[in-house]
Amino acid sequence: MEAGKSSGIRTAASPVQSLTHLHADIECYYTQKVLAHGATPLGVDWTCRPTQELRFVQLLKLCDFRQPFSLNDVGCGYGALLAFLARRHRGAQVDYLGTDLSQAMIDRAKLSWRPSIRSRFVVTGGIPRVADYSVASGIFNVKLEQPAARWTVFIKQMLAAMHATSRLGFAVNFLAPMGPSMQNIPELYRTSPEIWVRYCKRQFNTKVELASDYGMSEFTLLVRR
């Protein structure tokens, strides 16, 4: 049985070919953002640092800080999550890898964080190692002018990659459906939580915790093996 049929999510034809242009569009969009705004929340298309870090709080609920762990930060941007970890979890022993499609993003991350035994940054659309946990903040929100079916293929491929490279689990966030007073922005991807909660449970045979009560029009999925 196809997972797309069981979850009500369609897939696009020839996903590998179609995602080449999708990755290029994402890279171009975020490179322009960071060149315009620098290593700031606006540089990764967030409005401010407090809400950016509130998202980090939700994603990191996945992790057990009582013991050392390794972490993949997918779509890491300029390394804001690493700075957050250094400030809010100073005693934690975290082996961190940040990945991003944009060379400009990684260049700015490396300006703040020299490569070390505990932190590295790599330009890639994949996830080059297996870690205890993987997190991704906001990588599914801005679909630009991509067709919905192609964007769904992208999401499925990224979720599968994060599951395959995470020993203990992964966490991602999504924009929630529009409220009555919200402006419709076609370039944004919004979805109901139930679709992706159900998909992750069935596709990966995992436990999924939904966090949605933190004051923003979005939700976070904590997916554990």
Instruction: Confirm whether 35 is domain-assigned.
Output: yes
Instruction: Confirm whether 9 is domain-assigned.
Output: yes
User: Which region among 1-10, 69-78, 84-93, 215-224 has the lowest average model confidence (pLDDT)?
Assistant: 1-10
Chain mean pLDDT for the chain: 91
Instruction: Confirm whether 140 is domain-assigned.
Output: yes
Note the pTM of the prediction, 2 decimals. Answer: 0.90
Instruction: Confirm whether 23 is domain-assigned.
Output: yes
Range of the domain at 202: 3-178+188-224
What is the DSSP track for the chain? --HHHHHT----SSHHHHHHHHHHHHHHHHHHHHHHH-SSGGGGT-S-HHHHHHHHHHHGGGS-TTS-EEEEEET-TTTHHHHHHHHH-TT--EEEEEEES-HHHHHHHHHHS---SSEEEEE-SS--S-EEEEEESSTTTB-TT--HHHHHHHHHHHHHHHHHTEEEEEEEEEEPPPPTTPPP-TTB-B--HHHHHHHHHHHH--EEEEE--SSSSEEEEEEE-
Count of structural domains, the chain: 1
Return the CATH number at 159: 3.40.50.150
Instruction: Confirm whether 183 is domain-assigned.
Output: no
pLDDT tens, residue by residue, 73-128: 999 999 999 999 999 999 999 999 999 999 999 999 999 887 676 899 999 999 99
pLDDT tens, residue by residue, 130-154: 999 999 999 999 999 999 999 999 9
**pLDDT attached to residue 15:** 42
